[in-house]
């Protein structure tokens, strides 16, 4: 489907009338002067392209443009491509935004975003605000790129940098591929996930480089049939299936494969987490394979007692059922002795957890790494360093982000 989409758009180039190539500078007077708002030329171009009955491509040529905000709505009548060759800059002042989004793509089918361009969220002012966990401030900051209810889309060869909140957020999408995507933000940028996926089916994140201050990839409730392959992560908090079913009416997570990924200097490696007291739900068929870790603080972790900022009640247990989870051929170095931590719920112990060919040593020392388990009996095969489930759980485990 994606190949047909790309070919159909390419074949329309140069056609007269509807469809073809729409240049926002040549046709709608956009200016690459870093001060004239690109919003109206972009929205005008989108309106024309979206109404076309033949495939259309919008081009933003090379240059640096100021863009206040834009929501690009579908449905459109034919496949559509937005080719960003230049750099788009957001307002630096977080107060300039009325909604928590900078650029949003909504209810579009057969869409491509390409061109090698940059989406610069100019988030350094927002990063200076502290104590995000104690306020709603960070949740109200704009996400660089929102993709809501898209079907059959390709996001390729794009960079997003210094977003004020998440770089990319997916909601309600189906059959989406990210490829050769770059995400860049400082390691101390707060609450800045690279890519967050929620309630989406068939999302592929391929050959992507992510440097950020929170999870490189975070997977929320309702996510199904996801493939994360060839991702390099660091700095950041790793690749997380996070907080499934924290609230009522959240949906199951099923079918996630994370493969051929490299994590460097991250606070976590590959992780599944749920809150004590989380609502009844399931998270199943999760597979981590062929992962390289370098100086990662918690390389392998299932944490059903995840409780940042001490907001949980004493003796609460997670009601999320975790099953059919595998960690295979994971190797490298850990920044802390606890290289493997599988801490499951006493109410609903983990089922069918597999550890195969694990080789994780301690960074910068000859000391051993350890493996800790609770409420789980994993299937073990191949080399195991550290020896699976061989160490007691500390009374006060090392906190993780």
Catalytic positions: 214, 237
**DSSP class per residue in 78-109:** S-EEEEE-SEEE--S-GGG-SSSEEEEEES-E
Buried b (16+ CB within 10 A) or exposed e, 321-338: bbebbbbbbbbbbbbbbb
For tokens 């940098």, what's the residue? 161
At residue 176, φ and ψ (nearest 5 deg) are: -125, 135
Residues 361 and 16: their CA atoms lie apart, in Å, by 63
At residue 72, φ and ψ (nearest 5 deg) are: -105, 105
Q: In angstroms, what CA-CA distances link 390 with 325, 337, 387?
A: 19, 13, 6
What is the Cα 233 distance to its own chain's centre? Answer: 11
Q: What is the four-CA torsion angle of 378, 382, 385, 391, rounded to 10 degrees?
A: 30
What is the Cα 401 distance to its own chain's centre? Answer: 16
């Amino acid at each position: 489907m994606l190949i047909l989409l790309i070919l159909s758009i390419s074949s329309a180039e140069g056609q007269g009338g509807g469809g073809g190539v729409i240049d926002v500078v040549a046709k709608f007077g956009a200016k690459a002067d870093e001060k004239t708002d690109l919003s109206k030329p972009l929205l005008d171009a989108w309106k024309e392209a979206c109404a076309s009955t033949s495939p259309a491509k919008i081009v933003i040529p090379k240059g640096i443009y100021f863009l206040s905000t834009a929501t690009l709505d579908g449905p459109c009548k034919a496949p559509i491509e937005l080719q960003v060759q230049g750099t788009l800059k957001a307002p630096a002042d977080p107060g300039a935004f009325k909604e928590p989004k900078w650029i949003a793509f909504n209810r579009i089918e057969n869409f491509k975003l390409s061109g090698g361009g940059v989406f610069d969220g100019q988030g350094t002012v927002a990063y200076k605000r502290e104590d995000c966990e104690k306020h709603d401030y960070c949740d109200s900051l704009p996400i660089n790129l929102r993709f809501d209810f898209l079907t059959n889309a390709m996001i390729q060869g794009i960079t997003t940098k210094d977003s004020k909140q998440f770089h990319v957020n997916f909601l309600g999408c189906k059959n989406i591929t990210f490829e050769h995507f770059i995400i860049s933000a400082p390691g101390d940028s707060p609450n800045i996930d690279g890519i967050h996926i929620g309630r989406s089916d068939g999302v592929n994140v391929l050959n992507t480089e992510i440097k950020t201050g929170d999870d490189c990839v975070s997977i929320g409730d309702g996510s199904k049939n996801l493939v994360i392959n060839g991702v390099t992560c660091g700095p950041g908090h790793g690749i997380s299936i996070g907080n499934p079913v924290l609230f009522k009416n959240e949906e199951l997570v099923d079918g996630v494969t994370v493969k051929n990924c490299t994590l460097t200097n991250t606070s976590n490696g590959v992780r599944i987490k749920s809150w004590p007291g989380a609502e009844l739900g399931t998270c199943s068929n999760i597979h981590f394979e062929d992962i390289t870790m370098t100086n990662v603080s918690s390389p392998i972790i299932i944490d059903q007692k995840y409780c940042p900022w001490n907001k949980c009640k004493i003796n609460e247990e997670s009601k999320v059922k975790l099953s059919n989870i595998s960690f295979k051929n994971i190797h490298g170095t850990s920044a802390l002795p606890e290289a493997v931590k599988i801490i499951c719920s006493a109410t609903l112990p983990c089922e069918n957890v597999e550890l195969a060919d694990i080789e994780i040593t301690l960074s910068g020392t000859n000391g051993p790494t350890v493996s800790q388990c609770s409420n789980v009996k994993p299937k073990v095969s191949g080399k195991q360093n550290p020896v699976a489930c061989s160490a007691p759980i500390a009374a006060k485990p090392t906190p993780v982000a």
